[in-house]
Amino acid sequence: MENFKIDVDADGIALITFDVPGRSMNTLTGKVMDELPALVERIKTDDAIKGAVITSGKASGFCAGADLGDMASGLLSGSGDLQAAYDAGWKMNGALRALETCGKPVAAAINGLALGGGLEVTLACHYRVVGDSPKIQLGLPEIKVGLFPGGGGTQRLTRLIGVQAAMTAMSSGSSWRPNDAKGAGVVHEVVPAGTEVEAAKAWIKGGGKAVQPWDDKSFKLPGGGPYHPAGIQNFLVGNAMIRKQSYGNYPAVTNLMKAVYEGTQVPMDAALRIETRYFIKTLMTPQAQGMIRSLFLSKQELDKGAVRPAGIPQSDPKKVTVIGAGMMGAGIAYVQALAGIQTILIDRDQDAADKGKAHVEELLKKRLSRGQLTQDKFDALLASVVATTDYDQIKGSDLVIEAVFENREIKADVTKRAEAQLEAGAVFGSNTSTLPITGLAEASVRPEDFIGIHFFSPVDKMMLVEIILGEKTGPAAIAKALDYIIKIKKTPIVVNDGRGFYTSRCFGTYVAEGLAMLEEGYAPALIDNLGRMTGMPRGPLEMHDDVALDLSVKIAKQTAEDLGDAYVPIEGHEIVRKMVEDLGRYGRKNGKGFYDYDTKPKKLWSGLSDLATVTINDSTPELIEDQKRRLLYRQAVEVAKCWEEGVIDDPREADVGAILAWGFAPWTGGPITMIDQIGLKAFVEQADVYADRYGDRFRVPQLLRDMAAKGETFYGKFAGVKAAA
């Protein structure tokens, strides 16, 4: 076999080493799936084999789960053949069921992370040993890409730890560290790293039982099943909780509960068939297909530098200066330190610089407390960050990132002072969220090396970085910026210049549409509930509080100054201006915005009704669906305008950027996928309805009308265009 090596020792124990050739991490590829039944048959029928231990030949982990690339090209081929899809889905389930009923004890020696299908393989083993390492995670994260476990996970995990614990883990996609997994009952033993195989063999030699708990006649489901007095509560309450969390947007969560509910009432063989049917049903939904493409396949491509200019030598930044030691600058310094980059953190005075480094220290201490860093490593990483006011220390930097206030004059001064210390070929990046890069580059004596590098707050948690090109930004600067982003393990997108660029501009329409609804008389609670129901992480008003109302006012003033007579205030601008300038309500940052934050939970500010009279306080199913669509369409129309204006030109970057940057409803797969799946003709028609009703901000660009007339899609017309260029 190509992916499994079998060595039988003198005791008759077969050590099966899972090692997919040519890959740094094991995944369940199509070839692995093809070989799995033959592997199980060998274990079952070879008389020389008395028991088996399955482990990984990779230093990076046990198995990261199914290869969704293979799955996308196979099960997602669009053939519509349900029987063929079921047969393909059953291949793994059937093989793993054969493994656990082969009559010989099988142990898993988990020597690295085991996620998704990787964990499901171990759950089909009779015994699980895991190494004691903070780098190891065990979990079933399929829900994060619109799926749920389809290799027996819904049935085995539930029978191991009970309905409530299993549903909580699977519906959130959360993972366990080794000792937590043992405490939860997911694994049997935690041993020193490197001794997993030895411990697994010892279990077999000690008379390990070759029968799973659920195949024992005396087995009872922990906590009870659907008809148990206590067990029924898990489904009654769980159904309500799932609805609260997903708002019905994610078929995977609903089908997961159905598979668990039905599967726990029948023997394992029937339960696995039930799981496979629901898995295939989920896999064929537009939500799953969109999420798999954007959140796995496209993200993976971007993480590997898919849009990097060709022909530019690879760079490896060793020293990077960050100017501005506030929360943003300190966050950037932290992720750089973790990536092994020497960091100079500069601010206007030493106290401010030291405060920034203290934030880095605070974040590193969290990792230290979790066992993710040794004390020596902690000390070395903290020492790699130098807090200073001295611009001379910039010398030797491969890259400078300014993260100062959104003020053109301040940024110009910082640019000139920093560039005076830089060597030829070093890149200057501005972490601006709204100011056009071409304009900022006017302060530069080397505009070909001037680029926008837009991080999102909090930097340690937000995975996207938006790279913005000025008119004179050169390909070398683009390549170096991408190399830097990939080194700090963020996902990059590359966009062209324009006010607000891509992410800030499009995110702003969500907030603005919420303000428009406020002006129209919608109750604030209704507005934010509608926002959450679309699948956005927060309602538009509370999200506005999060990003700061005073920042919106500052940006509006700078924009008005730059555009002059061409400036058009956004919807609700006057409400926000009064809140900031007249009432001192800046948002969450000072505990006063659309909400009051001096109580838990936060409460809508009672004085809001004095600024916006409520006339629409009731809702109907029809109104809810219409206004949810309105909020999503407004954002998607702006994305289409960005496309026609050349701000963004790659469907992968548009979708991944929207989801990771401002939380555009992940179940859609992103705004471009949403437009494609609705169909451009239908999308344009509905957008025109909204334009007639609410204004020209909903009027789609001519590009969409032309594409609709030709029956085109974005992914059909533009996929691969950027790479080819």
Evaluate if residue 617 carries a pLDDT over 60. yes
Whether residue 275 lies in the annotated active site: no
What is the distance between the alpha carbons of residues 458 and 456, in angstroms, rounded to a whole number?
Answer: 6
State the pLDDT at residue 245. 87
Tokens of 386: 């130098």
Identify the helix (H) or strand (E) that includes residue 476.
Answer: helix 475-487
DSSP letter for each residue of 126-195: SEEEEEE-TT--EE--GGGGT----SSHHHHHHHHH-HHHHHHHHHHT-EE-HHHHHHHTS-SEEEETT-
Helix, strand, coil percentages in the chain from 3-state DSSP, rounded to 5:
55, 15, 35
Supply the mean pLDDT for the chain: 94
pLDDT tens per residue, range 438-458: 999 999 999 999 999 999 989
Q: What's the pLDDT at 721?
A: 67
Closest CA to 105 of 208, 217, 242: 208
Q: At 639, phi and psi to the nearest 5?
A: -60, -45
- Asked if 457 contacts 327 with a C-beta cutoff of 8 angstroms, the reply is yes
Decide: helix, strand or coil at residue 62.
Answer: strand
CA distance 463 to 303: 10
CATH number for the segment(s) 319-499 = 3.40.50.720
Inter-residue contact 342 to 319 (CB < 8 Å)? yes
* pLDDT tens digits for range 285-309: 999 999 999 999 999 999 999 999 9
Which is more confidently placed, 39 or 500? Answer: 39
What pLDDT does residue 79 have? 52
Place of tokens 């708990």: 213
Model pLDDT for residues 476-489, shown as the tens digit of each residue: 999 999 999 999 99
Q: Tell me the per-residue pLDDT of 654-681, one tens digit each, with 9 for 90 and over.
A: 999 999 999 999 999 999 999 999 999 9
What per-residue confidence (pLDDT) applies to 723? 53
Distance, in Å, from the CA atom of 145 to the CA atom of 153, rounded to the nearest integer, reads 16
User: Looking at this protein, which amino acid is placed at residue 49?
Assistant: I
Query: Residues 636-640: what's their mean pLDDT?
Result: 98
**Which is it for strands 138-139 and 113-115: parallel, antiparallel or unpaired?**
parallel
pLDDT average, residue stretch 261-273: 97
Residue 362 pLDDT more than 50? yes
Residue 230 has pLDDT above 90, yes or no: no
Q: What are the pLDDT digits (tens) for 53-109?
A: 999 999 889 999 998 877 666 544 445 678 888 888 899 999 999 999 999 999 999
Name the percent of the chain lying above pLDDT 70. 98
Q: What is the Cα–Cα distance from 604 to 680, expressed in whole angstroms?
A: 38
493 neighbors 656 (Cβ within 8 angstroms): yes
Q: What is the DSSP letter of 525?
A: H
Mean pLDDT (whole number) for 22-44: 95
The pLDDT, as a whole number, for residue 76 is 47
The residue extents of the domains of the chain are 4-284, 319-499, 503-626
Which of 402, 466, 513, 653 is labelled catalytic? 466
Which CATH architecture is the domain 4-284 placed in?
Alpha-Beta Complex (3.90)
* This prediction's pTM: 0.93
Percent of the chain surpassing pLDDT 90: 86
pLDDT of residue 72: 62
Torsion of Cα atoms, 164 then 165 then 168 then 174, to 10°: -170
Please state which architecture CATH assigns to domain 503-626. Orthogonal Bundle (1.10)
Tell me the DSSP string of 277-297. HHHHHHHTSHHHHHHIIIIII
Question: For residue 557, what pLDDT band results from cuts at 50, 70 and 90?
Answer: confident
Q: What is the pLDDT of residues 38-69, one digit of tens each?
A: 999 999 999 999 999 999 999 889 999 998 87
- The per-residue pLDDT for 722 is 64
Comparing 371-375, 389-393, 713-717, the range with the smallest average pLDDT is 371-375
